């Protein structure tokens, strides 16, 4: 057995065009176009580092298929699928819904391939063909809502794969751990009333989407208590993130006892990211992955699937991603993170009192997660 690994060359060809960072460029209005932040580099360079480090040699390559209408309709409405497909035929593509989610001509097929990557990784784990899996997919998915794309996301990759896991593999209780630095609002919305899905999001407080991901958002109806938000103050580093894992995420998982753990694995909490103000390094990503692997081994026969989300530092995401993939594969390559020596020692990496206060509130809520029946 091995760790499954999803990549497709077309992920690097998803075209977000030019942009003033993440706002559409408009020269006369003073918005000089530049590269969109959601550019291929952080993803293609991670894939290349996985190869150059030799780690890829020990992985089982999983080739993704395009998600079908039937699969996407488990989460999205037909109007969204039709709008994306129609705009994808235009010479310059379109936008998935909120004006922050551009795609080029043919973008529909690449977005379907991204959701299909999450499905391929999940299916391989559930069918016992691999021990665990990392889907290095693009575009990301965790902001996408049933009726529209959002925040660079077109289809809700993890949520679609989760629903496929239910429909096709009989999975009951499952947990999504989202450590992308932005709130996993799409995943939350999709599963908000679902008592069988624990949706945990660790994110920078009140960043994107605005006014989203508060502690008080805890699920509704039968799903009350199965949404858990940890809105960390800007400036949180390795100490805060490891404390969240120890005090909130692992205890919540142990109460909920999922049959499958899915990780919405963004790397934009890294200290060099242009789209957030956190301080995480590869050292913490490696440790966090190890904690989830241990928890999955205890709770659900090791069934855990990682699906790539955000992360916009093209030089640093590769080393954070390599740390995660090495940990999943139970190996360590000869490539060391050349930045860690400096970044691990930055002032403020240790848990700060104002961060601990938020984590204590979230830990109390974790104690209210509905236990396995």
Q: Catalytic site residues?
A: 143
Toward Zn ion, which CB reaches closer, 112 or 182? 182
Number of residues that bind Zn ion (CB under 5 A): 5
Q: Which stretch binds Zn ion (CB under 5 A): 45-53, 169-177, 180-188, 238-246?
A: 180-188
User: Is residue 180 part of the contact set for Zn ion (CB under 5 A)?
Assistant: yes
The greatest distance separating any two alpha carbons of the chain, rounded to the nearest whole angstrom, comes to: 61
Kindly state the smallest distance separating residue 310's Cβ from Zn ion, in Å.
Answer: 3
Q: Which stretch binds Zn ion (CB under 5 A): 128-136, 212-220, 263-271, 329-337?
A: 263-271
The H-or-E segment that residue 119 falls in is: helix 107-126
Toward Zn ion, which CB reaches closer, 181 or 296? 181
CA distances from 204 to 28, 141, 235, 286, 352 (A): 33, 18, 9, 20, 15
Kindly state the smallest distance separating residue 180's Cβ from Zn ion, in Å.
Answer: 4
Closest by Cα among 185, 175, 176, 179 to 153: 185
Adjacent-strand bridge partners of 18: 35
Q: Which stretch binds Zn ion (CB under 5 A): 37-45, 96-104, 308-316, 333-341?
A: 308-316
Q: Which stretch binds Zn ion (CB under 5 A): 12-20, 23-31, 228-236, 310-318?
A: 310-318
d(CA 176, CA 215): 17
Toward Zn ion, which CB reaches closer, 76 or 203? 203
Q: Which residue shows structure tokens 């995401």?
A: 317
Binding mask 266-305 for Zn ion (x = CB under 5 A): x-x-------------------------------------
Kindly state the smallest distance separating residue 36's Cβ from Zn ion, in Å.
Answer: 14
Q: Which stretch binds Zn ion (CB under 5 A): 2-10, 12-20, 160-168, 178-186?
A: 178-186
Q: Which residue shows structure tokens 């690097």?
A: 12
Closest by Cα among 202, 184, 236 to 356: 236
The encoded tokens of residue 170 equal 């009989």
Q: Which residue shows structure tokens 């936008």?
A: 95
User: Is residue 310 part of the contact set for Zn ion (CB under 5 A)?
Assistant: yes
Toward Zn ion, which CB reaches closer, 164 or 181? 181
User: Is residue 107 part of the contact set for Zn ion (CB under 5 A)?
Assistant: no
Kindly state the smallest distance separating residue 259's Cβ from Zn ion, in Å.
Answer: 27
Phi, psi of 326 (to 5 degrees): -60, -40
Kindly state the smallest distance separating residue 184's Cβ from Zn ion, in Å.
Answer: 9
Toward Zn ion, which CB reaches closer, 268 or 337? 268
Ranked by CB distance to Zn ion, the top (closest) residue is 310
d(CA 330, CA 314): 25
Toward Zn ion, which CB reaches closer, 95 or 268? 268
CB 181 within 8 A of CB 269: yes
d(CA 335, CA 337): 7
User: Is residue 182 part of the contact set for Zn ion (CB under 5 A)?
Assistant: yes
The H-or-E segment that residue 283 falls in is: helix 282-300
Toward Zn ion, which CB reaches closer, 53 or 236? 236
Kindly state the smallest distance separating residue 277's Cβ from Zn ion, in Å.
Answer: 12
Adjacent-strand bridge partners of 201: 178, 229
Kindly state the smallest distance separating residue 278's Cβ from Zn ion, in Å.
Answer: 11
Write down the number of H helices and E strands in the chain. 12, 12
Burial classification of residue 370, based on how many CB atoms lie within 10 Å of its CB (0-12 exposed, 13-18 middle, 19 or more buried): middle
User: Is residue 219 part of the contact set for Zn ion (CB under 5 A)?
Assistant: no
Please tell me the number of Cα atoms within 13 Å of 46 on its side-chain side: 36
Q: Which residue shows structure tokens 């209005």?
A: 29
Q: Which residues bind Zn ion (CB under 5 A)?
A: 180, 182, 266, 268, 310
């Amino acid at each position: 057995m091995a760790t499954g690994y999803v990549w497709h060359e077309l992920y690097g060809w998803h075209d977000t065009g030019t942009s003033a960072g993440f706002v559409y460029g408009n020269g006369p209005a003073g918005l000089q176009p530049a590269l969109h932040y959601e550019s291929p580099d952080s993803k293609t360079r991670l894939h290349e580092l996985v190869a150059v480090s030799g780690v890829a040699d020990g992985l089982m390559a999983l080739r993704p298929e395009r998600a079908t209408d039937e699969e996407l309709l488990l989460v999205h409405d037909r109007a969204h699928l039709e709008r994306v497909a129609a705009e994808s035929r235009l010479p310059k593509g379109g936008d998935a819904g909120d004006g922050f989610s551009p795609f080029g001509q043919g973008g529909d097929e690449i977005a379907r391939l991204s959701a299909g990557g999450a499905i391929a990784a999940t299916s391989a784990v559930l069918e016992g063909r691999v021990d665990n899996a990392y889907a290095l997919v693009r575009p990301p998915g965790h902001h996408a809502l049933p009726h529209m794309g959002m925040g660079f996301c077109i289809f809700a990759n993890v949520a679609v794969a989760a629903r496929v896991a239910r429909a096709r593999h009989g999975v009951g209780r499952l947990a999504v751990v989202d450590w992308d630095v932005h709130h996993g609002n799409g995943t939350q919305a999709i599963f908000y009333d679902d008592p069988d899905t624990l949706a945990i999001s660790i994110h920078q407080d009140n960043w994107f989407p605005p006014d989203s991901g508060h502690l008080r958002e805890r699920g509704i109806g039968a799903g009350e208590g199965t949404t858990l938000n940890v809105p960390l103050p800007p400036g949180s580093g390795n100490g805060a993130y490891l404390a969240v894992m120890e005090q909130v995420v692992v205890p919540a998982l142990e109460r909920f006892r999922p049959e499958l753990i899915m990780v919405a694995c963004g790397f934009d909490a890294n200290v060099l990211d242009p789209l957030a103000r956190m301080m995480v390094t590869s050292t913490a990503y490696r440790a966090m992955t190890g904690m989830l692997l241990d928890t999955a081994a205890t709770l659900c026969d090791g069934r855990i699937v990682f699906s790539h989300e955000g992360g916009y530092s093209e030089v640093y995401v590769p080393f954070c991603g390599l740390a995660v993939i090495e940990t999943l594969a139970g190996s360590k390559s000869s490539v060391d993170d050349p930045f860690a020596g400096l970044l691990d020692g930055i002032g403020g990496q240790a848990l700060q009192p104002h961060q601990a206060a938020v984590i204590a509130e979230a830990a109390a809520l974790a104690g209210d997660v509905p236990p396995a029946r």
